[in-house]
A and B are shown apart, each in its own frame.
Chain A
């Protein structure tokens, strides 16, 4: 899969990680807060927990070698001029990728309150889910992901999930799984068990 991304999306930078704990954070969110150097809108993956950063935690107790592709702005170029494809924030998969390996997509929103998160104009979770669906669809069309392969996805509210994440999809996760072969959960964490197994945890 790594090779296919490199061939078909040349500008993507894929990094390898095998730490027991990995944290995916929206760098842009903290870039604004901490005056950090710009990184083209990418999320970042860290191997140490930053006390004051909220992130998606990936527990990797068996230290599986993982590839991380944090998407820059306009990471999924369209062949049609002037059109920008909708995209989520990153994709992760085992380095020794095969037909049985997992693939994980992540989209995060740093809403500070329940009220903000569920403002009508934000259209959550639909807009977040849609970003993931569009990303998966794009990669399937590019034959980077096999058409029938089931993938995993996380929509994350790092500041908030413990308040409401179980009520996020209300059964729609089955429709998304059926229609798009995406097993999606609103959560801030996942457990990587092996190159074949990943579990989307509750919070």
Chain B
């Protein structure tokens, strides 16, 4: 597992977490959820560039502060973050963000990943037409825009994307860059820019999940110049090692050759996607929030690829849905098949050990999973509900009945 430490950055005072396959970060507004998600996203990107390009030559201020729209005031002299995977260690310290990136022994086993950050502001791609004409900038919103433009072209009328259980299909018309929704019930078409805010929020999200967890891997991708140069350098070094071995009268084995082939494969092809999604619940009715969670987990867990997912959320409904998926996994052996068939979550069940759920509280994190059941503790839901009920009860004092 990958380890992340963050100290004194924005609202985060001191956290240390082990990143899991699925990571859920709960917390109120401005508690630091996005700061954690953005640091994870940045570190995953640095790891990829550092290992695939053979070095990291980018500016922190551009690639983190500007890209993720992080204010300079988030940092102080005692700020620190460190990301550690099986392959690298990355850290930044202090106000001047002193950078330290080191390779680990296993770095040659690193597999190239597709990293995608889906920001809370995603609706704008649906709502504003002709976005391609907008001035480019280097931030996660524009990056998301590029991903959206690349991806939506795959969904022609013949390959329309069904949107959860909402009875709506999306397709794109390339000629005039139109985003069209077909209402299944009456076969009527409407433009995405005129659709509800819920659809505008969910369509870019589900489309990217659908494509990047499946279709993306069916197409051959080209590698960047830096990536190719680094692969050449590694092959050169490995061959040099082979020659040295031969000079020492030690033959290189078939196993050595296989390792080299694996290494080339690891670096030239994409192997899995790392999704980071801010507030997937945006503008969605509770039932749709539930279906979206089921959809995300179905795509991510049913793949042979080791996709990962990190979510920030305010919504207890997201946690309720997640709980169903974890509980389903736990009881699946004792569940009669006819009952199982009735459960909407059945294709999204996930081993609770692969899920971490944290609540951010006063700059620190607290796991809110029950150690016995592996699901989210009922105390958490109760606390969330009580926060609303306190005001309700105060007002009931004055209700004349």
Would you give 26 A-B contacts (Cβ < 8 Å), ordered by A? A162-B382, A163-B379, A164-B378, A164-B382, A165-B382, A166-B385, A166-B386, A166-B389, A167-B382, A167-B385, A173-B396, A177-B399, A177-B401, A178-B401, A183-B393, A183-B396, A183-B397, A185-B393, A199-B393, A199-B397, A200-B393, A202-B383, A202-B386, A202-B389, A202-B390, A203-B386
- Inter-chain CA distance A46–B386, complex, in Å, is 27
With CB as the reference atom, state the residue of chain B lying closest to A202: B386
- Inter-chain CA distance A177–B392, complex, in Å, is 13
- Inter-chain CA distance A192–B389, complex, in Å, is 18
With CB as the reference atom, state the residue of chain B lying closest to A166: B385
With contacts A164-B378, A177-B401 known, what are 15 further pairs, Cβ within 8 A? A162-B379, A163-B378, A166-B385, A166-B386, A166-B389, A183-B393, A185-B389, A185-B393, A199-B393, A200-B393, A202-B383, A202-B386, A202-B387, A202-B389, A202-B390
- The B contact surface, by secondary structure, is helix
Q: Does A42 contact B (CB under 8 A)?
A: no
- CB contacts (< 8 Å) of A201 on chain B: these are 390
Q: Does B394 contact A (CB under 8 A)?
A: yes
Q: Are B393's CB and A163's CB within 8 A?
A: no
- CB contacts (< 8 Å) of A183 on chain B: these are 393, 396-397
- Inter-chain CA distance A162–B386, complex, in Å, is 9
- Write the nearest CB–CB distance from A27 to chain B, whole angstroms: 28
- Inter-chain CA distance A197–B398, complex, in Å, is 11
- CB contacts (< 8 Å) of A173 on chain B: these are 396
- Inter-chain CA distance A60–B390, complex, in Å, is 18
- CB contacts (< 8 Å) of B386 on chain A: these are 165-166, 202-203
Within 8 A of B (CB), among A2-48: none
Within 8 A of A (CB), among B296-334: none
With CB as the reference atom, state the residue of chain A lying closest to B394: A199
- CB contacts (< 8 Å) of B396 on chain A: these are 173-174, 177, 183
With CB as the reference atom, state the residue of chain B lying closest to A198: B397
* Number of B positions contacting A (CB below 8 A): 15
- Inter-chain CA distance A203–B390, complex, in Å, is 10
With CB as the reference atom, state the residue of chain A lying closest to B388: A166
- CB contacts (< 8 Å) of A114 on chain B: these are 378
With CB as the reference atom, state the residue of chain A lying closest to B382: A166
- Inter-chain CA distance A35–B95, complex, in Å, is 63
Render A143-178 as a binary contact track against B, CB cut-off 8 A, 1 for contact.
000000000000000000011111100000110011
- CB contacts (< 8 Å) of B379 on chain A: these are 162-163
- Inter-chain CA distance A29–B151, complex, in Å, is 65
- CB contacts (< 8 Å) of A163 on chain B: these are 378-379, 382
Contact residue range for chain A? Answer: 20 to 34
- Interface of A toward B, CB cutoff 8 Å: 114, 162-167, 173-174, 177-178, 181, 183, 185, 197, 199-203
Q: Which of A162, A173, A177 has the most CB of B within 10 A?
A: A162
With CB as the reference atom, state the residue of chain A lying closest to B378: A163
- Inter-chain CA distance A122–B401, complex, in Å, is 30
- Inter-chain CA distance A177–B399, complex, in Å, is 9
- Inter-chain CA distance A58–B394, complex, in Å, is 16
Give 9 nearest A-B pairs by CB, closest first. Answer: A202-B386, A166-B385, A178-B401, A166-B386, A166-B382, A162-B379, A163-B378, A202-B390, A166-B389
- Inter-chain CA distance A185–B389, complex, in Å, is 10
- Inter-chain CA distance A183–B401, complex, in Å, is 11
- Write the nearest CB–CB distance from A16 to chain B, whole angstroms: 25
- Inter-chain CA distance A173–B396, complex, in Å, is 10
Render B211-251 as a binary contact track against A, CB cut-off 8 A, 1 for contact.
00000000000000000000000000000000000000000
Q: Which of B379, B387, B390 has the most CB of A within 10 A?
A: B390
- Inter-chain CA distance A114–B382, complex, in Å, is 13
- Inter-chain CA distance A16–B383, complex, in Å, is 33
- Write the nearest CB–CB distance from B208 to chain A, whole angstroms: 36
- CB contacts (< 8 Å) of A162 on chain B: these are 379, 382-383
- Write the nearest CB–CB distance from B327 to chain A, whole angstroms: 15
- Inter-chain CA distance A203–B389, complex, in Å, is 11
- Write the nearest CB–CB distance from B388 to chain A, whole angstroms: 8
- CB contacts (< 8 Å) of A202 on chain B: these are 383, 386-387, 389-390
- Inter-chain CA distance A200–B385, complex, in Å, is 15
With CB as the reference atom, state the residue of chain B lying closest to A183: B396
- Inter-chain CA distance A185–B390, complex, in Å, is 10
- Inter-chain CA distance A3–B384, complex, in Å, is 43
- Inter-chain CA distance A185–B387, complex, in Å, is 14
- CB contacts (< 8 Å) of A174 on chain B: these are 396, 401
- CB contacts (< 8 Å) of B394 on chain A: these are 199
- CB contacts (< 8 Å) of B393 on chain A: these are 183, 185, 199-200
Within 8 A of A (CB), among B352-401: 378-379, 382-383, 385-387, 389-390, 393-394, 396-397, 399, 401
- Inter-chain CA distance A177–B397, complex, in Å, is 10
- Inter-chain CA distance A167–B382, complex, in Å, is 7
- Inter-chain CA distance A177–B400, complex, in Å, is 9
- CB contacts (< 8 Å) of B387 on chain A: these are 202
- Write the nearest CB–CB distance from A29 to chain B, whole angstroms: 23
- CB contacts (< 8 Å) of B383 on chain A: these are 162, 202
- Inter-chain CA distance A199–B394, complex, in Å, is 7
- Write the nearest CB–CB distance from A37 to chain B, whole angstroms: 36
- Inter-chain CA distance A166–B393, complex, in Å, is 11
